[in-house]
Every structure is written in C-alpha cells, then in structure tokens.
Amino acid sequence: MEYLAFFLGDNLCGLPVRQVREVLRRPPPLARVPNAPSGVAGVAHYRGRIMAVLRLHDVFGLEPPEKRGAETAVVIENKGELYCLAVDAVRGVLSFDSPPAPASALRQGVWREAVGEARRTEEGLMSVLDISGIIARICRNNEEKGPRDGDQNLPYR
Amino acid sequence: MDDLLQDFIAETSDSMAALDNDLVDLERHPDDAALIGRIFRLVHTVKGNCGFLGLPRIENVAHHAENVLGQYRSGALKATPDSVSLVLQSLDRIKEILSGLAATGREPAGDDAALVRLLGMAAVENPGGGAVAESTPPPARDKPAPETSLRVGVETLENIMATVSDLVLTRNLLLSHPAGAGTKEPLQRLDRAVSQLQEDVMKARLQPVGLLWDRMPRLLRDVAIDLGLKVRLEQEGAQTGLDRQVLELLRDPLTHLVRNAAAHGIEKPAERAAMGKPPEGVIKLAARQQGGQVVMTVSDDGRGLDVQAILEKAAARGLADEAALKSMTPEQAWRLILAPGFSTAREVSPAAGRGVGMDVVRENVEKAGGTLDISSVPGRGTVFTLRVPLALSIARALLAQVEDVRVAVLQSTVREVVMLKRDGPHRIERKDGARFLRLRDALLPLVSLHAHFGFDAQAAKSLRPFVIVFEGRGGAFGIIVDRVLAAEEIVIRPVHSVLRGQRLFAGNALLGDGGVVMVLDPFAASAGA
C-alpha cells in the first residue's frame, strides 16, 4: 500500500494514493460559501468541475495555519465528488508491505471517527485519514448546527 | 452488474414504455393487425431474453401475456378493454420486477400466480400457448439496418461535459492575453473548435421531450376509466430536444398537469354532448423550441377554470383578503390555483394526484429555471404553458455581490433590477420592523441576503444597494444586494454534496473566468425571510 503523507499541524497523516487526484502547490482561488458547515471553506474550480475546499484544521480542532491560503492543496475524489484538503506540508509517498497497525482504542473524539487506521513510520505513527468519516462528521455537524464537541488537539493520549 | 443484464434492463424498459402506448392504441383499433404483430413481437423478445438470462418471474408473466396476445393475433380473441387491462397489468408487473432487478441484480421475490391465472382465463383456449409457437417470427430486431445511434452512459457524457467546460475556461484565459507572434491564427481556430465542441456536447445531452410524454397515454387511459371519461391524447413536437436534467425536473409536474386536465378539465361524455361538444375530450401536449427556451403546453378542451369557484375557495382558505379577491382580474384569479395551500392533500382523489398541489408543480418548473402560465376560456378549455431553458447546465445569469460573496441568479426568474439612488424615485420604507421597496404603486417585501448570510446588515447601510425583483408565489418581492456585476452565461452544476443542507442555493456554477459562484434560489430566500 502506498500513501501520500503530509502534516496537519504536528500530526503526520496519510491518504491512500489511489484516492489522490493531484497535489497543488497552491490552493486555487476560493469562493466563500455563506452558512457553509464548519470545516468547509468554500468551493473552487478544478478542471471543469467544482470541488469543496475543506479546512481540516477546523475539523480536527487544530490551530489554523499561520497564513491561510498558503497551504498545499491535496485534491481527492470520494464517491464521485471532488474535495480539496489544505495541508501544511507534504512529506511524500510512503509505501508499506506490512499490515496496518491494530485498532486505536486510545483515540479520542474526531480522531476516532476520522482516522481509519495507523501506520508505523520512522517519524512515528501516521494516521490514515478516512475521508468518508470526515465528510459524514462535517455534514452531521451542519445538521445539528450545534457547537462542536470538545475535540482534543492530540491524536493519541 | 453483468453488462448483459444491464443491456437487458435498458432494452426491456424501452420496450415496456413502447408497449404501454401500443396497447392503449390497440384499445382504439382492436383490429389493427400490424399493431398486434408489433406488440406480440416485443413481448416475445422480452420473454426470449429472460430464458437466456435466467429470469423465471419475468419469463412466466411475459409468457402468459404472450398467450393472450397470440389469441388476438389469430383472431380467436378480441382486444377488449378488459383483456387489454390485464395485459397492461402484466407489463406493470414486469416493470416492477425490472426495477427490483436494476437495484439488486436479481429478480425480487414475489407471487405472480393470481395474475397468471387471470391471463390464463383470458386466453380462451390452450393456456399452454402451443398454438402460437410455430408461427412465432424470429425475435430479431425489426430493422436489419445498421445502427445509427448508440447508448452512452450518463457518467461518460458528464465527464465529457466537465472536460469541455475546462477547455472553454482555458480558452477564455488564453484569449484574455495578448496573442504573441504566430499564435493569433491558431488561437482563433482553437476558439472556433472549442465553441463547436461545446455546442455538440450540449446537443448530445438533449433528449426528445417525447420521453416525458411516453407514459401519458397510459396514465390518461387509467384516469379516464376511473372517472368514466372519454379522452384522447394528441402530441405535437415530441422530437423537441431538452436537456436531460430539465427533463427530469419536469417529469412530475407534467404528469400532474395531464392528470389534472383530465380529472378537473374534461367533462363527462353526456355533459359534453349537451354542450354540443364531441363526447370525446382532447388533451394536447405540444412542444417547440423558441430561442434558448422550450415552450411546452398542456391544453384541454374541457370546462375551463371557474373563476368564481377559485375566488370562493381562496377566500375560504384565507389566501388573500376579500377586497383583493374582489378586484382581481381573471388572469390573477387563475394564478391563485398555484398558491401553496390552495389544493390540499385531503381532497385530492387518486386520479388527480398523489398529494401534490399545483404549487409544487410551479415550484418544480421554477427549479428548472422556467415559468408556468395559465389561460382559460369558460366552456372551451384551459392551457398551461411551461417555458423552460433548453439546458439547465448553461444558462444566462445575473451576477450579484453581497460583501465578498458573489452569487448568481437565473436571469429567466428576474423581473427587473432597481438601483436605489439617493433622492431617487424608489425608496425603502419600514413597516413593523420589516423593509419594503416602494416601486411605482406597489410595496414589495424585501429580503436581505446580508441577514441570510449572517453578515452585519448595519455595515452595509452606507451603500446605495440594488434590489433584484422577482415574481414570487405570493406576489413580487425584492432581494437587496450590494452590487449587480454582470450578466453572463454560466455552467451550472448540482450543489456539491457537502453543501446540500443549504436551502438557499440551487446549484453552483463555473464562470467564464474560472471562478465559482453559488446559484441563489430566490424563492427559498424569500420563503425563509
């Protein structure tokens, strides 16, 4: 299995390479959408299609990056729709032969729902993001319109 | 799912639609041998394919329906309405099984014994159907001519459309830069080719409106039998092309209009005869292209709309105050039937609709970026006119700005744009905390996008804003924006799924400059105000 590895704040995260359409050095011009659910910054144009731009920092309750708009953009496809994830730094493609690390009973809050599995790397554990889980969470928060639950900054405790 | 099975489902669905209409025809012309032959062959082909694919339920039903049809063909049985009804029931059963098949890839469980028994009783002799077998023509297609059309998956078409949109935007970017040495002519050629390509892809997405009308003969027949009416359906312009997205949006409204035309419009045969009309009523579907729009009419030669009854009902339902009702022109009164709450689910008969009111019809037409008009003559009939854009995916829109957010509204829904100047003729007035626009003699309620978007309306106070005026269900209303930017052609996409919760937006769209805007649904904005 090959993963695109990147940092969200200090957290090493990964996505299966087959989900990734393209890595853009710079996010495309963003059209803000009023009343969008928390975690959705807006929409943008990508090759004749429209993608939703997600702010994973907000979803995971991380400190927003110092300069918004300067992040690297990862374009992914999920269930026929395009999403653009703003991430802090792309680490590269990592490949693994071994099976993923066992289930993560220690994860809390959003890290439990949004992370499918974990991989051991030389730089510590990499959280493999479950995009469907993240989107479900965003949509649910939108419906509830309530404040987000107290997500913790730390993926593992 | 298996390709073969998918082909079978697509092909059989087509056959079922054709059969519905052919059978309704057959009832009128029970002796048309060519028609009987065609019906027989279609059913026979369906049956043959089933055996091949291992679909015992469809095969069984088709087999027994074929027996009845075989008797028609041999002249042993007359195509009476009763026996045709039975064959139509078998088609309904097959459709039902087909939809299960399409969803799960296998025939759903079910018991067809009762239906099969009835079919067996209708086919007077030889329920086994042996008499028919030897004369069965080969199930091959009627026309050995080479195919001039082929099926393309919707997804493929959508992908091509997306690529073409991207190409158009890239071309626009290229053209906005000064041409370098030697690039002017190739650029012009590229420009032409891209425009042509865009047009062709648009055309490929068009489907004949006849696809919408296909199920109407059957529907009308059932309603007519239910209510003891005689009705004939006429069609004109079935080949008129319409974007498949628009077509889908019009499916329910059209069904409702046709059903209503029969249930409320057409009089009983005796009543018609007494008025000197032919006992058989006529409902006519017509379509034609007019510029970038398709104009579709649903007309009947029935009793027409009863203005007095409409006014009384509107008064009873409190849709308008008495003074307003009294001063209404017939045109205004007709439009009352489009108001929400005019028709209620309680009094809707099975023939007149499934709890859908005319307001929903209008809403769906508006969703397609269209308009719905009514005209009626007492004793002569009623005409509903639908005007919809040829394609939903490319439409002319007005771009407006609220703070830093750009939104688009379909130009077809805009009545006028009013600029508010200091000391100008149009003013904003306040009444009971709400804001209204004094426009000529009328006072229009105003909707603030600032409030909808959660912006501070006070901050925008110093601006001299624009008001975009729409014709709403309950009358005209205005939406205040900071600026009106331009009118341009936009490529509309369904709202991204992660934003589906937003009622305010009907879609998102790509602009010529590669930017993205949300397409505002003005009626949703006004409803939530």
Which of these, B179, B160, B178, lies nearest to B168 by C-alpha position?
B160
Q: Give pLDDT, residue B53.
A: 79
Helices (H), A18-122: 56-59, 109-114
Q: Give pLDDT, residue A67.
A: 65
Contact A52, A142 (CB under 8 A): no
Distance CA B296, CA B257 (A): 12
Q: Which residues of B touch A51 (CB under 8 A)?
A: 496
Distance CA B330, CA B112 (A): 52
The tokens for A126 are 């990499």
Q: In degrees, to the nearest 5, what angle opens at C-alpha B413 toward C-alphas B411 and B417?
A: 65
Candidates A34, A44, A79; nearest CB to B453? A34
Q: Give pLDDT, residue B230.
A: 93
Mean pLDDT score, B58-84: 86
Q: Give pLDDT, residue B274.
A: 93
Q: How many CB atoms lie within 10 A of CB B432?
A: 5
Chain B contact present for A1, CB below 8 A: no
Q: What tens digit of pLDDT does each residue of B365-423 get?
A: 877 778 889 999 999 999 999 988 777 667 788 999 988 899 999 887 888 998 887 77
Buried b (16+ CB within 10 A) or exposed e, A117-156: bbbeeeeebbbbbbbeebbebbbebbeeeeeeeebeeebe
Residue B439 pLDDT level (bands cut at 50, 70, 90): confident
Mean pLDDT score, B122-142: 47
Distance CA B119, CA B61 (A): 9
| pLDDT at residue B142 is higher than 60 | no
Give, for all 157 residues of chain A, the pLDDT tens digit: 899 999 988 889 999 999 999 999 877 889 999 888 888 999 998 887 889 999 888 888 888 776 665 678 999 998 888 999 988 888 899 988 877 766 555 566 777 777 878 888 888 888 889 888 888 888 876 665 433 333 333 333 2
The tokens for B446 are 């105003």
Candidates A29, A36, A47; nearest CB to B499? A36
Distance CA A9, CA A60 (A): 10
Q: Which residues of B touch A81 (CB under 8 A)?
A: 496-498
The tokens for B59 are 């095969």
Which residue type is seen at B1? M
Residues 27-56 of A with CB under 8 A from B: 29, 31-37, 40, 43-45, 47-52, 54
Q: CB contacts < 8 Å between A and B, how many?
A: 83
Contact B374, B383 (CB under 8 A): yes
Which residue type is seen at A102? P
- Which chain B residue's Cα is nearest to A53? B498
CB contact under 8 A, B454 and A139: no
Q: In degrees, to the nearest 5, what angle opens at C-alpha B518 toward C-alphas A31 and B396?
A: 120
Beta strands B241-243 and B293-300: pairing type?
A: unpaired
Candidates B453, B501, B516; nearest CB to A37? B501
Residue labelled with tokens 């056959």: B15
Lowest-pLDDT range, B29-38, B402-411, B472-481?
B472-481
CA count, 13 A, side-chain hemisphere, A145? 4
Distance CA B349, CA B125 (A): 39
ipTM > 0.95 for the complex: no
Q: Give pLDDT, residue A152.
A: 34
Residues 6+ away with beta carbon under 8 Å from B78: B30, B72
User: Mutating which of A21, A24, A32, A45 best tests the B interface, going by the most B Cβ atoms within 10 A?
Assistant: A45
Distance CA B141, CA A87 (A): 58
Kind plus residue range of the DSSP H or E element containing A15: strand A11-16
Residue labelled with tokens 């007359």: B78
The dihedral of CA A73, A132, A77, A122: what is its sign?
positive
Distance CA B217, CA B414 (A): 36
| pLDDT at residue B143 is higher than 80 | no
Contact A72, A21 (CB under 8 A): no
Q: What tens digit of pLDDT does each residue of B175-219 get?
A: 777 777 788 888 888 888 887 887 788 778 888 999 889 889 999
Chain B contact present for A67, CB below 8 A: no
Q: Give pLDDT, residue A74.
A: 94
Chain A contact present for B162, CB below 8 A: yes
Phi, psi of B512 (to 5 degrees): -60, -30
Chain A contact present for B494, CB below 8 A: no
Contact B454, A34 (CB under 8 A): yes
Lowest-pLDDT range, A42-56, B134-148, B325-339, B426-440?
B134-148
Strands (E) in B202-280, as ranges, are 206-208, 231-236, 241-243
Candidates B405, B452, B496; nearest CB to A81? B496
Name the range with the highest mean pLDDT among A118-132, B348-362, B495-509.
A118-132
By the 10 Å C-beta count (0-12 exposed, 13-18 middle, 19+ buried), B524 is classed as middle
Of the two residues B343 and B96, the one the predictor is more confident about is B96
Distance CA B205, CA B201 (A): 6
User: Rounded to 5, what percent of chain B is helix, strand, coil?
Assistant: 45, 25, 30
Phi, psi of A122 (to 5 degrees): -65, -25
Alpha-carbon separation of residue B472 from B225, B318, B366, B372, B478 (angstroms): 37, 18, 10, 12, 9
Residues 6+ away with beta carbon under 8 Å from A101: A117, A118, A119, A120, A125
Chain A contact present for B514, CB below 8 A: yes
Contact B259, B250 (CB under 8 A): no
Q: Which residues of A touch B510 (CB under 8 A)?
A: 45, 48, 50
User: Helix B184-205 to helix B154-176 angle, to the nearest 10 degrees?
Assistant: 150
DSSP B77: S
Which of these, A74, A67, A82, lies nearest to A129 by C-alpha position?
A74
Contact B26, B39 (CB under 8 A): yes
